Structure 1
Amino acid sequence: MGLIHAWRMQRLVSDARTAFERGDLTFIAGFDIDTRRRVSMKQIRREIDLIINAVEPIGWECVSVEPFLASVKIDFLRQS
């Protein structure tokens, strides 16, 4: 994992924590897939799992993962 990836993950977790503390009911995360190089489905799944495992302990529950062109959108709902 490179420094840029670590910084982006830290930012994502910080945004998720802020949204949860603010009382938001939903949180949306996502990432773009680099189309300039070959990216395997295994790498994409690993990234999805990494994001879900980082955000769910805060109090969010993953409800959907949706691919869109060269990106992935992950929706979370506040756990009750």
Structure 2
Amino acid sequence: MGLLHAWRMQKLVSDARTAYRRGDASFLAGFDIDSRARVSMKAIRKEIDKIITAVEPIGWECVSVQPFLASVQIDFMRRE
């Protein structure tokens, strides 16, 4: 994992914590897929799992994972 990826994951987790403390009912995460490089579905699934594993312990529950053109959108709902 590169430094840029680590920084983005840290920012994502920080944003998820902020949204949770603020009382938001939902949180949206996602990432872009580099269309210039060949990216395997295995690598995409691995990235999705990393994001879900990092965000769910904060108090969010993953409710959907959807592709959108060259990106992936992951929706979380507040767990009560």
TM (norm. structure 1) is 0.99
Q: Detail structure 1 runs of 4+ shifted over 6 Å in the superposition.
A: none
Q: Report the AA paired with residue 43 of structure 1.
A: A
Q: Distance in 1 between matches of 2:38 and 2:61?
A: 30
Structure 2 partner of 1:23: 23
Paired with 2:6 and 2:37, the residues of 1 have a C-alpha distance of 20
Distance in 1 separating the partners of 2:75 and 2:40: 22
- Equivalent-residue separation in structure 1 for 2:68 and 2:7 (angstroms): 24
Alpha-carbon distance, 1:75 to partner: 0.2
Report the secondary structure of 2:15's partner residue.
helix
Tell whether 2:35 aligns with 1:35. Answer: yes
1:17 CA displacement: 0.2
Gaps of 5+ in 2: none
| Number of residue pairs aligned between Structure 1 and Structure 2 | 80
What is the RMSD of the two structures over their aligned residues, measured on CA atoms? 0.2
Percent sequence identity over matched residues? 77
**1:49 maps onto 2:24 in alignment:** no
* 2:79 aligned partner: 79
Deviations 1:3-62, CA, capped at 9 Å, x for gaps: 000000000000000000000000000000001110000000000000000000000000
| TM-score where L is the length of structure 2 | 0.99
Q: State the SS of the aligned residue for 1:73.
A: strand
